[in-house]
Structure 1
Amino acid sequence: MVRRIDLTGADGLRLAAWEFADQPKDRPAGDADPAPGVLLLHGLMGRASHWAPTARWLSERYRAVALDQRGHGRSDKPAEGPYTREAYVADAAAAVEQLGLAPVTLIGHSMGALTAWQLAAERPDLVRALVICDMRASALGAASQREWEDWFRSWPLPFATLADVRKWFGEDDPRVERPNPARGAFFAEVMAEGPDGWRPLFSRRRMLTSRETWVYDAHWDSLGQVRCPTLVVRGLDGELGRAEAQEMVRVLPRGRYAEVPDAGHLVHYDQPEGWRAALTPFLEDVSPC
């Protein structure tokens, strides 16, 4: 069972969240002890529904909620933002508080992972534990932003069908080294049909603005301020290299490390079973259940 919950962001923005299942399977109805909360934060260009398989298995033991972050999915997309780190973190804090999830376990992918660890650093009272999936702490540099600008311009919009979306992002996209159906499915999930075909739910210009907040700045300081148990997960073929991942674990006061074979940046899409196997021991250790 999935239900939508409308929340209010820190500056009055309407945020859409999605709760998966009302009652964890191993907790009897009427149990006075509420299920521990988990908030899932997607990456840049993502949406809450990307977490559906993860949230469904989590809902057997936890209250699992996925958030559409500002500018994404069904949440508001203000033309002028702000799309700053402060805004994303404030939204996540507002979601935790309004949903009554604290102390929460935060699970973030890419940009969502950065938001999660910054929230954990700033509001340790709200966060029980943290999972960082394939997000670097170091700055990417200006060249990376230029590459993304060129990549966005290469999109053959509008797509005539969702099959065309899946094929282009999974096979024809110049960034794809070998066919990747999971990548095609990921991008098909963030398209909406209009009069002339299929276009993204987000503004590519606003995505570039959001991305500036980690392209030009490193975030090692905030990572070192995280005091809760933290798992750093990387796909072996992802964007987070092993050396940097292990340095992130070293910087974290209570850091752990896991890697998922045969997975790229979209770890939870590429290898859902490997992703689940990486998370389960950590969650069992930090859960109050």
Structure 2
Amino acid sequence: MVRRIDVTGAGGVRLAAWEYADPSPSSSSRGYPKGLPSPRGGGPGSGSAAGSAPRVHPEPKRPGVLLLHGLMGRASHWAPTARWLAGRYRAVAVDQRGHGRSGKPAEGPYGRDAFVQDAEAVVEQLDLAPVALIGHSMGALTAWQLAARRPELVRALVICDMRASALGARSQREWEEWFGSWPVPFAALADVRRWFGEEDPTLERPRPSRGAFFAEVMAERSDGWRPVFSRRQMLTARETWVHDAHWEELAQVRCPTLVVRGLDGELGRAEAMEMVRVLPRGRYAEIPDAGHLVHYDSPEGWRGVVQPFLDEVLHPVA
């Protein structure tokens, strides 16, 4: 089960958050945000004395987990992860500004501070703290910047395939050229899956999971299928981090942190190991047969490294 909750982000931008709930009856009333009614009910046969109010035993708050997608992503990319998390944790994914069903202000801002403040707003307004943050790519950078700036809010961190080193102007130019190469509009979703999974000239080998990933961020218009985001806004957002290194903030993260990379991802092994060394409580995991989209390329491998880490550091209520 999943339900949408609107959150007010930095500058009043509306953010769409999605809470995934364990469908089992024993957990249906746990972990609801402040101000929202619990579905727990009472009445005849509830075990209370006749004529008296039912006795309610509050259940312990489950640890919160906030999932942050990468550039061009959306909360629904986390659905498989959020579903297995929901059995033991309070799992929330959010469409970040400019993405999915969240607000897309024409002129932004799309800088680092705005994204970090948005994540902070989700944590505080949904009462998730101290939260475990799971971030992919740009979302991972947002996650560790929030952990560095507001350590009291963050209990654990998972960084998935995001570099701490500066990528530089050349990288930004390559992205501009890549966006310009997209054959939009696509006539059908099958064309989206084929182009991003097989025909994109930047691909070294076919990756059907990549095609499925991009099909998730397309919407049908009068002339065909187009991305639900503005490529101009994506470039603007990326411009705010590619020219800088982010080692200093990484070193300020005090909570247990798992650095995950796909064997064929964008984060190289040497840099990942250096990130683990810089992190005061860093750990490392590598997933074979996975590229940049680790959780899409190898769902079982992803779960196999993330779930034990969270179970260890969060100590969930059974």
Q: Structures share a fold, TM > 0.5?
A: yes
Give the superposition deviation at 1:122.
0.3
Q: Aligned with 2:10: secondary structure?
A: coil
Q: Which residue of 2 is the match for residue 10 of structure 1?
A: 10
Q: Deviations over 1:240-288 (max 9, x none)?
A: 0000000000000000000100100000000000000011221111113
Q: Deviations over 1:82-111 (max 9, x none)?
A: 000000000000000001000000000000
Letter matched to residue 69 of structure 2:
H
Query: Is the CA contact (8 Å cut-off) linking 2:22 and 2:87 kept in structure 1?
Result: no
Q: Deviations over 1:106-163 (max 9, x none)?
A: 0000000000000000001110000000000000011100100000000001001000
Q: Which residue of 2 is the match for residue 133 of structure 1?
A: 160
Q: Deviations over 1:12-66 (max 9, x none)?
A: 0000011111567775856520111000000000000000000000001000000
In the TM superposition, 1:1-289 aligns within 5 A as 1-21=1-21, 27=27, 31-289=58-316
Query: Is the CA contact (8 Å cut-off) linking 1:191 and 1:200 kept in structure 2?
Result: yes
Measure the CA separation in 2 of the matches of 1:198 and 1:62: 36
Letter matched to residue 236 of structure 1:
L
Measure the CA separation in 1 of the matches of 2:13 and 2:205: 39
Q: Aligned with 1:11: secondary structure?
A: helix
Q: Kindly tell me: are residues 160 and 226 of structure 1, through their superposed partners in 2, closer, same or farther at Cα, counting changes over 3 Å?
A: same
Letter matched to residue 186 of structure 1:
F
Measure the CA separation in 2 of the matches of 1:9 and 1:262: 37
Measure the CA separation in 2 of the matches of 1:207 and 1:259: 28
Query: Is the CA contact (8 Å cut-off) linking 1:24 and 1:63 kept in structure 2?
Result: no
Q: Aligned with 2:225: secondary structure?
A: strand
Query: Is the CA contact (8 Å cut-off) linking 1:25 and 1:60 kept in structure 2?
Result: no
Give the superposition deviation at 1:212.
1.1
Measure the CA separation in 1 of the matches of 2:309 and 2:75: 22
User: Unaligned 5+ residue runs, structure 1?
Assistant: none
Letter matched to residue 7 of structure 2:
L
Give the superposition deviation at 1:75.
0.3
Letter matched to residue 67 of structure 1:
V
Measure the CA separation in 1 of the matches of 2:198 and 2:288: 21
Q: CA RMSD in A?
A: 1.3
Measure the CA separation in 1 of the matches of 2:59 and 2:91: 18
Q: Aligned with 1:274: secondary structure?
A: helix
Measure the CA separation in 1 of the matches of 2:24 and 2:177: 45
Query: Is the CA contact (8 Å cut-off) linking 1:26 and 1:60 kept in structure 2?
Result: no
Measure the CA separation in 2 of the matches of 1:55 and 1:111: 19
TM-score when scaled to structure 2? 0.89
Larger Rg belongs to: 2
Measure the CA separation in 1 of the matches of 2:300 and 2:58: 30
Q: Aligned with 1:150: secondary structure?
A: helix
Q: Aligned with 2:184: secondary structure?
A: coil
Q: Percent identity?
A: 78
Give the superposition deviation at 1:213.
1.9
Measure the CA separation in 1 of the matches of 2:163 and 2:27: 37
Q: Kindly tell me: are residues 25 and 246 of structure 1, through their superposed partners in 2, closer, same or farther at Cα, counting changes over 3 Å?
A: farther
Measure the CA separation in 2 of the matches of 1:255 and 1:175: 32
Q: Aligned with 2:157: secondary structure?
A: strand
Measure the CA separation in 2 of the matches of 1:28 and 1:172: 44
Query: Is the CA contact (8 Å cut-off) linking 2:21 and 2:28 kept in structure 1?
Result: no
